[in-house]
Chain A
């Protein structure tokens, strides 16, 4: 089961990196969200994954607890999901504002955050 989880983490992270290398503003945002999802799976894997016993125990049953999944990681992942969801919302609104302000969703044309190369005091732009 762990190997399945591992494979899915690698697929999700690979997709995230692919999207984040894109020039499209929103693909990058989706890529970030996927990266967050991949990370959540990594943290999730930190609690025993193969267990079939639910982490909620009626009493302090040590024998059952030994076979149970670690409940704390679920709490951590839930928190991380909430945070990445808030982040997704914010970046979508920011991206929408940016697109309507710049009339473009191409990250290359948004390079204009850099001062124009014609500045007298700035050395000539070095082309990569």
Chain B
């Protein structure tokens, strides 16, 4: 690539973090309002794809919290593990527990469902980034 898209490069970094922030917001509001782990994960993948297109796959991968495959594994593990505590209290798998946290101005409903959603978020971000980076790398090889 001889011409560097300077404007894109400068904005991409800011937009990347903005997109990650938005994805986290979608993740946290997710349970009773529209949103949730899967959609938030897709927004994060969009952010990663922006980085990958502008700066290349390596840089995009470094900007992720973990490499794609470990991130996927961590996500699936966390999502499944959120269902396990119920087993020890004698309830069926995936029965979820809820706590209301008083934040002063509002109450936030904390639950093991959130752990499930975070797991889905990480798994989606990891797995689809894996596919995305594999595809972009292939393009790089053939071009």
A interface residue numbers (CB < 8 A to B) = 78, 82, 86, 89-90, 92-93, 96-97, 100
Contacts and interface: CB of A to CB of B under 8 A. Distances in A.
Contacts of B89: none
A89 B128 contact: yes
Contacts of A97: 138
Contacts of A86: 127
Interface string B110-143: 0000000000000000011001101100110110
A98 to B, nearest CB: 11
Contacts, number: 21
A82 B38 contact: yes
Contacts of A100: 138, 141-142
Contacts of A78: 38
A54 to B, nearest CB: 11
Interface residues of B, number: 11
A96 B143 CA distance: 13
Nearest to B42: A85
Given A82-B38, A93-B135, 4 more contacts: A78-B38, A92-B131, A100-B138, A100-B141
Interface of B: 38, 127-128, 131-132, 134-135, 138-139, 141-142
Interface of chain A, main secondary structure: helix
Contacts of A90: 131
Contacts of A82: 38
Nearest to A82: B38
A100 B132 CA distance: 17
Given A86-B127, A89-B131, A96 B38 contact: no
Contacts of B135: 92-93, 96
A92 B128 CA distance: 12
B1 to A, nearest CB: 21
B37 to A, nearest CB: 11
21 contacts: A78-B38, A82-B38, A86-B127, A89-B127, A89-B128, A89-B131, A89-B132, A90-B131, A92-B131, A92-B135, A93-B131, A93-B134, A93-B135, A93-B138, A96-B135, A96-B138, A96-B139, A97-B138, A100-B138, A100-B141, A100-B142
A92 to B, nearest CB: 6
Contacts of B134: 93
A82 B127 CA distance: 12
A89 to B, nearest CB: 4
Nearest to B131: A89
A90 B135 CA distance: 10
A96 B131 CA distance: 11
